[in-house]
Structure 1
Amino acid sequence: MATLDDARGGAAPWLLSAPALLLFTAMLLIPLALTFVLSFHVFKDMAGVQPGYTLRNYLQVVTDPYYGRIFLRTAGLAFAVTLLSIVLGVPETIVLARMRKPWQSICLLIVIGPLLISVVVRTLGWEILLGNNGVINDMLRALHITQEPIRFVFTMTGVIVALTHVLVPFMVMSVWATLQKLDPQVEWAGRSLGSSPMRVFRRVVLPQILPGVLSGSIIVFALSASAFATPALIGGRRLKVVATAAYDEFLGTLNWPLGASIVVLLLIANVAIVMGCSRLAERRFKHIFD
């Protein structure tokens, strides 16, 4: 009887998670597998996708300097947005954690509120703000900081600003979840022993919120590297990133195998960079704080 109960107990988690696993397989793994297979197909301009298989699509992406610049631009964009999200999101979350209710709940709702709005709507709002005749340039001219409008739209600066606003809430939520587990008495003990606030933050608070910062950085980097709507609307047609380049191959030139190879390489690069940076950061901070 005990053996039967143990068997049921071992199978119960799998049975309960089976619907989610099936949905995950159907909605994510199968499309990724089909995209991977499509990336090896032969493409001819006059005949379209052919049944043969080739590595020429990957070789074209890897060896063409045009795609190399696009991948480097995307990596730089993702790192810049991640760094800004850390600089803005971590102090913001610490301040929120020290607020009293109901101001804490109100301010947290304001920070996370943009997630309730479509990313396209938020990006169009930033396009209005950053335009040559937008609010920001009007304020700069009114304050006599500049005479001519500063160009933000169709530049990397504008894309970074808009993407940072879109993705900072993910950093805030990750760090917030870690701060809720932080025991304030440990910080107070450090202060009572004569340590400065900066030393207490560096030796007590930072090591404990580091997992939240790392998880938030991974989320922000992955989302910014694969972002499409914001770079397409703010960056325009000339400032291409990997997502917009793949979009052009799928719907512009109709070269689906080449677009699929770009998507697969983006996925591989994204996973490799995220895992590598996560391992490196964990080892470095562990060495510092041990």
Structure 2
Amino acid sequence: MSAASATGSPRSGGNSRALLLMLLLPGLAALTVTFLLPLIWLLRASFASDTTSAFGGGDVTLQSYRAVLFDPFYWQVAWNTLVLGFNVAVPAVVLSYPIALFLTRTTSRFRGVLTALAVAPLLTSSVVRTYGWMVILGDRGVINSGLQALSLTGGPVRLSNNSLGATVALVEILMPYAILAMLSGFGRLNLQLEEAAAMLGANRLKVFTRIILPLSLPGVLTAALLVFVLAISSFVTPRLMGGGRVFVLGTEVFNEATVTLNWPLAAALSVMLLVLFSSIILLYQRALSALET
């Protein structure tokens, strides 16, 4: 057998690369049309002088970025967005962790059904679930009606139309995403390591803290990142559950684009949100690299 036939001819290697490129082209084209071109337009619109010039032409100005960077209100909005994302990500991951761990470990024949039930809320619109939380947490909702019927409160407890209601609703809405992320990230768990630790005298707490938790941390970080990003980019739930009193970047982008029709400012706020996304992803990559080393 010749060396060329043993290692493959250069022509076959070129054909393989051409085939891979052809397979990539549809995805690259779709990504360009649906993401890259809108992102370029968004950047261009953020430098426009008014809404009309945001669609092309007109002067290039930094007035929208000046409004965003030098107005304390928008800094407070950015801070509210980060706080909301943190307040949602932490309880969502904490509540989802035992569910994901159970679904990973269980050998029940109903495992598929249980997994489907855990992520079944994704089949319902977030708008519908948000309205459900409005019914539950409203001043005349299920919880307040129950508390007043038991004479535990003299009046309705403010559970909605504030950041608390938005946080509670977002935690429930985003928990299925956290469960899915952790299910896919718990592949490093090894039952044999746990059995070996137990044989060496480690109790269940030590097995969890020394073996299960460290091996599952990459999945936990992925779930936290996903929930955090979805929370800070949410609009419907903060808008409805906040009752117009919760100001985050998502709601402000909507207001500037549809109410005041200030598209350049809306684009600048969107760029600010993208910067937050990028910063969080960089922190996630650093944390993941630290865990792997």
Q: Write the deviation string for residues 5-36 of structure 1: whole angstroms up to 9, x where unpaired.
A: 01112232221121111111101111111011
- Find the counterpart in structure 2 of residue 28 from structure 1: 35
Amino acid at match of 1:238: R
Q: Write the deviation string for residues 56-79 of structure 1: whole angstroms up to 9, x where unpaired.
A: 111110110111111100100001
Residue 171 of structure 1: CA displacement?
Answer: 1.0
The unaligned stretches of length 5 or more in structure 1 are none
1:155 is aligned to 2:165 = no
**1:13–1:208 CA distance, 2 compared to 1 (3 A):** farther
- Find the counterpart in structure 2 of residue 58 from structure 1: 65
Question: Superposition RMSD on alpha carbons, in Å?
Answer: 1.9
State whether residues 188 and 216 of structure 2, in contact with CA within 8 Å, keep that contact through their aligned partners in structure 1: no
Residue 207 of structure 1: CA displacement?
Answer: 1.9
Please give the alpha-carbon distance, in whole angstroms, between the structure 1 residues aligned to 2:171 and 2:207: 29
Please give the alpha-carbon distance, in whole angstroms, between the structure 1 residues aligned to 2:11 and 2:281: 43
Please give the alpha-carbon distance, in whole angstroms, between the structure 2 residues aligned to 1:145 and 1:176: 41
Q: Write the deviation string for residues 174-206 of structure 1: whole angstroms up to 9, x where unpaired.
A: 111223452212211111211111111122111
1:7 is aligned to 2:9 = no
Please give the alpha-carbon distance, in whole angstroms, between the structure 2 residues aligned to 1:151 and 1:102: 44
Q: How is 1:91-240 mapped onto 2 (pairs within 5 angstroms)?
A: 91-240=98-247
Q: TM-score, structure 1 length as denominator? A: 0.92
Amino acid at match of 1:62: L
Secondary structure of 2:247's counterpart equals coil
Of 242, 245, 265, the residue aligned with 1:258 is 265
Residue 145 of structure 1: CA displacement?
Answer: 3.4
Comparing 9-18 with 222-231, greater Cα deviation is found at: 9-18
Please give the alpha-carbon distance, in whole angstroms, between the structure 2 residues aligned to 1:140 and 1:281: 45
Please give the alpha-carbon distance, in whole angstroms, between the structure 1 residues aligned to 2:286 and 2:164: 29
**1:178–1:276 CA distance, 2 compared to 1 (3 A):** closer
- Find the counterpart in structure 2 of residue 68 from structure 1: 75
**1:98–1:138 CA distance, 2 compared to 1 (3 A):** farther
State whether residues 218 and 288 of structure 2, in contact with CA within 8 Å, keep that contact through their aligned partners in structure 1: no
**1:280–1:179 CA distance, 2 compared to 1 (3 A):** closer
State whether residues 253 and 270 of structure 2, in contact with CA within 8 Å, keep that contact through their aligned partners in structure 1: yes
Amino acid at match of 1:77: L
Please give the alpha-carbon distance, in whole angstroms, between the structure 2 residues aligned to 1:146 and 1:198: 40
- Find the counterpart in structure 2 of residue 81 from structure 1: 88
Q: TM-score, structure 2 length as denominator? A: 0.91
**1:230–1:193 CA distance, 2 compared to 1 (3 A):** same
Number of aligned residue pairs: give it.
Answer: 284
Please give the alpha-carbon distance, in whole angstroms, between the structure 1 residues aligned to 2:123 and 2:53: 41
Please give the alpha-carbon distance, in whole angstroms, between the structure 1 residues aligned to 2:15 and 2:289: 38
Q: Write the deviation string for residues 191-239 of structure 1: whole angstroms up to 9, x where unpaired.
A: 1211111111122111221111111111111110100111111112231
State whether residues 92 and 172 of structure 1, in contact with CA within 8 Å, keep that contact through their aligned partners in structure 2: yes
Secondary structure of 1:54's counterpart equals coil
The unaligned stretches of length 5 or more in structure 2 are 1-7
Amino acid at match of 2:259: G
State whether residues 53 and 59 of structure 2, in contact with CA within 8 Å, keep that contact through their aligned partners in structure 1: no
1:90 is aligned to 2:94 = no
Identity of paired residues, percent? 34
**1:48–1:253 CA distance, 2 compared to 1 (3 A):** farther
Secondary structure of 2:50's counterpart equals strand
Q: Write the deviation string for residues 99-130 of structure 1: whole angstroms up to 9, x where unpaired.
A: 34234333322220110011111111111111
Please give the alpha-carbon distance, in whole angstroms, between the structure 1 residues aligned to 2:182 and 2:36: 29
**1:188–1:140 CA distance, 2 compared to 1 (3 A):** farther
Residue 275 of structure 1: CA displacement?
Answer: 1.6
Amino acid at match of 2:231: S
Amino acid at match of 1:153: S
**1:143–1:257 CA distance, 2 compared to 1 (3 A):** same
State whether residues 222 and 274 of structure 1, in contact with CA within 8 Å, keep that contact through their aligned partners in structure 2: no
